[in-house]
A and B are shown apart, each in its own frame.
Chain A
């Protein structure tokens, strides 16, 4: 079965420190991987995607993610966290059969001043 796991319900980071939000996946075929961010009572905003090519993907707002095929992971990273980065982050993978996005449960990121 195709799935996405975000093992941490919440991640707490001090402002200015690096942050990592973890994501692992299980999918048949080549994965199309996405990270989205959601602010309270808002829709999902696209951060970055991996389709093919370089394993290190750079996205919006200084975020980046590293695709690791052997570990089936796609962790989201940022070198220096901002308080404004506090939000709910979702990892998703595209199902290779019916093209729907399969989502993780989300990780709440809290950046403390």
Chain B
């Protein structure tokens, strides 16, 4: 299957810790966007990576950072975890930053902060 792969699927962390989430984009896609989806809400845009650089950023603090590798895969890092960071983190890949061809989402990583 050449869809978007996210790891891990579930994660439990303690407040104040740091976490790294990983995403492999769909084959042929070169852009990765990250979203946070709190329970019962729509996703919120965190940031987008293209050509190994952060291109766009939503309204999230600097505790949220990322990286894109030459093979287009990406990581989302969250430092100094807060209880409010508990959410489903979704990765979406696309060809180019404009999303004209649409976005393919992974199944997400469920992060629980205790």
What is the interface of chain A, defined by CB distance below 8 A to chain B? Answer: 4, 32, 34, 36, 41-46, 49, 51, 90, 92, 94, 98-106
What is the interface of chain B, defined by CB distance below 8 A to chain A? Answer: 4, 6, 33, 35, 40-45, 48, 55-56, 58, 90, 92, 97-100, 102-108, 110
A42 to B35, CA, bound (A): 14
With a cutoff of 8 Å between Cβ atoms, the chain B residues found around residue A44 in the complex are: 43, 90, 92, 105
A43 to B104, CA, bound (A): 10
| The one of B45, B105, B110 that contacts A45, using a Cβ cutoff of 8 Å | B105
A42 to B88, CA, bound (A): 9
A49 to B56, CA, bound (A): 22
CB distance from B73 to the nearest CB of A (A): 17
| The one of A32, A99, A100, A106 that contacts B42, using a Cβ cutoff of 8 Å | A106
CB distance from A7 to the nearest CB of B (A): 14
